[in-house]
Structure 1
Amino acid sequence: MRYPQGGGLTAERQQFREELRLKAAERFAQGEASSVIAKALRVNVRSVQRWRQKWDEDGRRALRSQGPASLPRLSQEQFAQLEAELAKGPAEHGWEDQRWTLARIITVIGRRPVEPGSPSRTKPDSPRRRRTRRPGHSAAGPRWCGSAAAPVDGSPSPR
């Protein structure tokens, strides 16, 4: 399954992709064209070209798997807690119908207590939030200082 809990490929799929890259490396050494290798391995030619470039720079070692792209955001314990909360159903969490939506799941996650030692959630006045807003804009939208149609000298605008 792609994007299990934390994202990226499963360990089995990573292993499979690494084996493909190493098979391609054997063919690079034999001097085969990228298009021939791509067709034989049933992958995109551009992927083979990227692999060949890495192989040229650093050999077979460059084609080895680097591990998962990111670590899961939830520990196994936290994931089990979330599953237990979701198993209770939306009605238990205050919604009238029995549908889980992404927004509702995010709300349930947001309601869970912050554990000591874990990173805190982003607060509205945190530096991270302040950086995302442009000067002259609030969370509600831009502040307008006047009408763009009104001339500066105060005379009525020609229409």
Structure 2
Amino acid sequence: MFADGRGSTEIAKELRVSVRSVQRWRRSWWEAGQDAVRSRGPASRPKLNDRLFAVLEEELAKGPVAHGWPDQRWTLARIKTLIGRRFHKSMTLSGISQMLRRRGWSHQVPARRAVERDEAAVAGWVKEVWPHLEPPGRRSGPGSSSGTRPDSR
């Protein structure tokens, strides 16, 4: 129990970390005090520093068409390609997403629907076509947990 009456499990859930991490931090705090659990900053330097990120923002402002894509949608995969071409650095999609979020960027969705949108055609597609595209659900009968037995397929 902590001083506020919460256990390691509650703290771990609130911080979205493992219970083991909370226990390790608590033991470090008991043994060495507050300095033992103070943040030492990020584990590594960012791939794009402030100057390079400013250049990336300028490139993003030009739009995807200026960089050879056929439409005006920036996707994480396209931004990854741009970073590779422009800075000769490789980043994961989740790393790019986190970097953009930290810098105040967010994914956008259209504020309004296209004027050309045909609501009746969309409704018909959702009712008639979409159900055939969804994969079938699991069988309700008994099966096998073995990956090599026919029941598991």
Task: State the TM-score, normalizing by the size of structure 2.
Answer: 0.44
Bigger proportion of residues as helix: 2
Query: Which structure carries more relative contact order (alpha carbon 8 Å, separation 6+)?
Result: 1
CA radius of gyration, larger in:
1
